[in-house]
Structure 1
Amino acid sequence: MSMSVPMWRTSTRSSSNGGACVEVADNLPGRVLVRDTKDRAGGTLTFAPSAWSSFVASAKHPTPAA
Protein backbone atom coordinates (compact mmCIF):
# COMPACT_ATOMS: atom_id res chain seq x y z
CA MET A 1 0.00 0.00 0.00
CA SER A 2 1.28 3.45 -0.89
CA MET A 3 1.78 5.99 1.86
CA SER A 4 0.86 8.75 -0.62
CA VAL A 5 -2.79 7.63 -0.95
CA PRO A 6 -5.10 8.87 1.81
CA MET A 7 -6.87 6.09 3.71
CA TRP A 8 -10.10 7.82 4.75
CA ARG A 9 -12.04 6.78 7.83
CA THR A 10 -15.31 8.20 9.06
CA SER A 11 -15.60 9.78 12.47
CA THR A 12 -16.70 7.38 15.20
CA ARG A 13 -19.29 10.03 16.16
CA SER A 14 -20.96 9.80 12.75
CA SER A 15 -24.42 8.37 12.42
CA SER A 16 -25.25 5.76 9.84
CA ASN A 17 -27.78 8.05 8.12
CA GLY A 18 -25.16 10.35 6.55
CA GLY A 19 -25.49 13.13 9.09
CA ALA A 20 -23.01 15.91 9.76
CA CYS A 21 -19.67 14.15 9.96
CA VAL A 22 -16.11 14.24 8.77
CA GLU A 23 -13.57 11.81 7.40
CA VAL A 24 -9.93 11.77 8.47
CA ALA A 25 -6.87 10.40 6.70
CA ASP A 26 -3.97 10.14 9.14
CA ASN A 27 -1.79 7.65 7.28
CA LEU A 28 0.25 10.23 5.35
CA PRO A 29 3.69 11.27 6.60
CA GLY A 30 3.68 14.68 8.26
CA ARG A 31 0.03 15.58 7.73
CA VAL A 32 -3.55 14.75 8.62
CA LEU A 33 -6.33 15.41 6.12
CA VAL A 34 -9.95 16.18 7.04
CA ARG A 35 -12.96 16.45 4.72
CA ASP A 36 -16.75 16.67 4.83
CA THR A 37 -18.45 13.35 4.06
CA LYS A 38 -21.31 15.15 2.30
CA ASP A 39 -18.93 17.03 -0.04
CA ARG A 40 -15.88 14.84 -0.58
CA ALA A 41 -14.86 16.77 -3.70
CA GLY A 42 -15.20 20.08 -1.88
CA GLY A 43 -11.64 20.11 -0.63
CA THR A 44 -9.72 19.09 2.45
CA LEU A 45 -8.17 20.72 5.46
CA THR A 46 -4.55 19.79 6.19
CA PHE A 47 -3.09 19.73 9.70
CA ALA A 48 0.27 18.90 11.18
CA PRO A 49 -0.07 15.69 13.22
CA SER A 50 0.71 17.55 16.47
CA ALA A 51 -1.97 20.17 15.73
CA TRP A 52 -4.53 17.46 14.97
CA SER A 53 -3.66 15.61 18.19
CA SER A 54 -4.11 18.82 20.19
CA PHE A 55 -7.48 19.47 18.53
CA VAL A 56 -8.73 15.95 19.24
CA ALA A 57 -7.56 16.13 22.87
CA SER A 58 -9.32 19.49 23.30
CA ALA A 59 -12.50 18.16 21.73
CA LYS A 60 -12.51 15.18 24.08
CA HIS A 61 -11.81 17.28 27.18
CA PRO A 62 -12.91 20.88 26.60
CA THR A 63 -11.82 23.58 29.00
CA PRO A 64 -14.83 24.97 30.91
CA ALA A 65 -15.79 28.54 30.03
CA ALA A 66 -14.85 31.13 32.62
Structure 2
Amino acid sequence: VATGWRLYPGAVSFQSSNRWDIAGATKFGFRTVWINRSNQPEEYRDFPPALILPSLEALVPGS
Protein backbone atom coordinates (compact mmCIF):
# COMPACT_ATOMS: atom_id res chain seq x y z
CA VAL A 1 0.00 0.00 0.00
CA ALA A 2 2.65 2.49 1.03
CA THR A 3 4.77 1.84 -2.06
CA GLY A 4 1.86 1.67 -4.52
CA TRP A 5 0.36 4.96 -3.31
CA ARG A 6 3.78 6.55 -2.67
CA LEU A 7 3.06 7.12 1.00
CA TYR A 8 5.23 6.92 4.06
CA PRO A 9 4.10 3.97 6.21
CA GLY A 10 3.16 6.39 9.01
CA ALA A 11 0.61 8.01 6.68
CA VAL A 12 -1.33 4.73 6.47
CA SER A 13 -3.97 3.92 9.09
CA PHE A 14 -4.53 0.20 9.64
CA GLN A 15 -7.47 -1.11 11.68
CA SER A 16 -8.03 -4.70 12.77
CA SER A 17 -9.63 -6.73 15.51
CA ASN A 18 -6.75 -9.23 15.28
CA ARG A 19 -3.94 -8.23 17.59
CA TRP A 20 -1.31 -10.13 15.59
CA ASP A 21 -2.21 -8.09 12.49
CA ILE A 22 -1.82 -4.89 14.51
CA ALA A 23 1.59 -6.03 15.77
CA GLY A 24 2.83 -6.66 12.22
CA ALA A 25 1.45 -3.41 10.85
CA THR A 26 2.93 -1.46 13.77
CA LYS A 27 6.33 -3.07 13.17
CA PHE A 28 6.09 -2.05 9.52
CA GLY A 29 5.41 1.55 10.56
CA PHE A 30 1.68 1.92 9.93
CA ARG A 31 -0.45 3.92 12.36
CA THR A 32 -2.61 1.19 13.89
CA VAL A 33 -5.98 0.97 15.62
CA TRP A 34 -6.84 -2.21 17.46
CA ILE A 35 -10.59 -2.86 17.51
CA ASN A 36 -10.74 -4.78 20.77
CA ARG A 37 -14.43 -5.76 20.78
CA SER A 38 -14.21 -8.37 23.53
CA ASN A 39 -11.70 -6.63 25.81
CA GLN A 40 -8.91 -9.12 25.10
CA PRO A 41 -5.63 -8.84 27.03
CA GLU A 42 -2.59 -7.28 25.39
CA GLU A 43 -0.33 -9.96 23.86
CA TYR A 44 2.24 -7.97 21.88
CA ARG A 45 3.53 -5.26 24.21
CA ASP A 46 6.58 -4.61 22.02
CA PHE A 47 4.33 -3.39 19.18
CA PRO A 48 1.58 -1.28 20.76
CA PRO A 49 -1.24 0.15 18.65
CA ALA A 50 -1.61 3.92 18.37
CA LEU A 51 -5.19 3.58 19.57
CA ILE A 52 -7.45 0.90 21.08
CA LEU A 53 -11.19 1.17 20.43
CA PRO A 54 -14.13 -1.07 21.41
CA SER A 55 -15.78 -1.02 17.95
CA LEU A 56 -15.47 0.20 14.37
CA GLU A 57 -18.23 2.69 15.10
CA ALA A 58 -15.90 4.38 17.59
CA LEU A 59 -13.72 5.46 14.63
CA VAL A 60 -16.46 7.89 13.58
CA PRO A 61 -16.60 11.07 15.67
CA GLY A 62 -19.96 11.57 17.36
CA SER A 63 -21.08 7.96 16.99
RCO comparison, higher one (Cα < 8 Å, 6+): 2
- Say which one has the larger Rg: 1
TM over 0.5: no
TM-score, with length taken from structure 2: 0.27
TM-score, with length taken from structure 1: 0.26
